[in-house]
Amino acid sequence: MARVHLLATGGTIASRRTDGGLSATTPAAELLAAAGPLPGLEVTVSDLTTVPSFALTGADVRALVREVRGHLAGGVDGVVVTHGTDTMEESAFLADLVHDDPRPVVFTGAQRPFDAPAPDGPANLADALRVAADPAARDLGVLLAFDGSVFAARGVRKVETLRSAAFGAPGRGPVLRVAGGAVAPLGRPPRPPALPLDLDAELPRVDVVACAQGSDDALLRAAVAAGAAGVVLEAFGAGNVPPPVAATAAELVVGGVPVLVCSRVPSGPVAPLYAGGGASLARDGALLGGDLSPWQGRLLLAAALALDPQDPGQVLAGRL
């Protein structure tokens, strides 16, 4: 019999309606009971916290990753984490960056609360538990299971605010599918080695600066003035930014502040194509973030700065 641990952190899957709005109060044991019978699975449970994911801090997520590691060390075949959908893609990605175990860690949640007339959480949780116990999920790293699809942590994004099919991996697609209780493999993306991050230490501050038509460099300069050790540009298209942003980005790189360029477009990589845009940014030393979202790019750059403050590009090599 496969052994899986369920670690609950709150989110919509654990929420009930109150006069003040949804509140995450449902414990892990009750979540598991609602998922229904799971033949062939032995599931243990624990509650780490009960908060919406928009309220999680970096320290909270590092504690979550440490807790996952502790349960894996206890000998289970996999771990499932219930989590709010707002920042699930960030928590899953950070967990994946340091995950050096073949056993799966599977994040899941819900779009409708626990006390909704037709909650989606129980089915999502049942799928995630099955995935965590299935040999097909081994060596895939950290995963996110939602609405029958299972995505690798890298590249996954929340693509719907309210519909049940909340997540996608634009340009990549799912790596597993769950249908009728069976787990079917779809793809096996390459995995770089885990990063040796110290999970007890705070990551360097990295800010995301969004670009809009006509943007100046005020927010970029303000981020560095506020203490950002690195900056991610949420650029147009294949990695282009307004001229004032490009000019200041070049200054920052010369001054030792790394700049990572990601796109605001959901699918496709950034590339050094346009003079005055991506080509100029790359020429001036900015790092191009491949197809990572700005938010996952922020975590990767922060991790690289933690490991090599002088040359984070060395850590990023092969990961973008």
Residues 279-298 pLDDT 10s: 999 999 999 999 999 999 99
Place of tokens 């056993």: 103
Q: What is the rounded distance in angstroms from the CA atom of residue 50 to the CA atom of residue 8? A: 7
H-assigned helices in the chain: 28-34, 58-73, 88-98, 121-133, 218-225, 243-254, 278-283, 294-307, 312-316
Task: Give the confidence band of 204 by pLDDT, cuts at 50, 70, 90.
Answer: very high
Number of H helices, E strands in the chain: 9, 16
Say if pTM beats, i.e. exceeds, 0.95.
yes
Task: Give the confidence band of 320 by pLDDT, cuts at 50, 70, 90.
Answer: confident
Neighbouring C-alpha atoms within 13 Å toward the C-beta of 98: 23
**Closest to 288 in 3D by CA, of 305, 270, 274, 314:** 270
**Closest to 40 in 3D by CA, of 149, 182, 160, 140:** 182
| Residues 50-101: tens digit of each pLDDT | 999 999 999 999 999 999 999 999 999 999 999 999 999 999 999 999 999 9
Task: Give the confidence band of 318 by pLDDT, cuts at 50, 70, 90.
Answer: confident
| Residues 178-200: tens digit of each pLDDT | 999 999 999 999 999 999 999 99
Going by C-beta distance under 8 Å and a sequence separation of 6 or more, which residues neighbour residue 93?
Answer: 142, 153, 154, 156, 296, 299, 300
For the chain, the average pLDDT equals: 97
Q: What is the rounded distance in angstroms from the CA atom of residue 281 to the CA atom of residue 243? A: 10
Q: What is the rounded distance in angstroms from the CA atom of residue 151 to the CA atom of residue 178? A: 11
Query: Which string of b and e fits 194-213 if b means at least 16 CB within 10 Å?
Result: ebebeeeeebbbbbbbebee
Burial tier of 231 (Cβ tally within 10 Å: 0-12, 13-18, 19+): buried
Catalytic positions: 12
| Residues 250-276: tens digit of each pLDDT | 999 999 999 999 999 999 999 999 999
**Is the Cβ–Cβ distance between 13 and 85 less than 8 Å?**
no
Secondary structure class of 99 (helix, strand, coil)? coil
**Mean pLDDT value across residues 151-161:** 97
**Is the Cβ–Cβ distance between 4 and 127 less than 8 Å?**
no
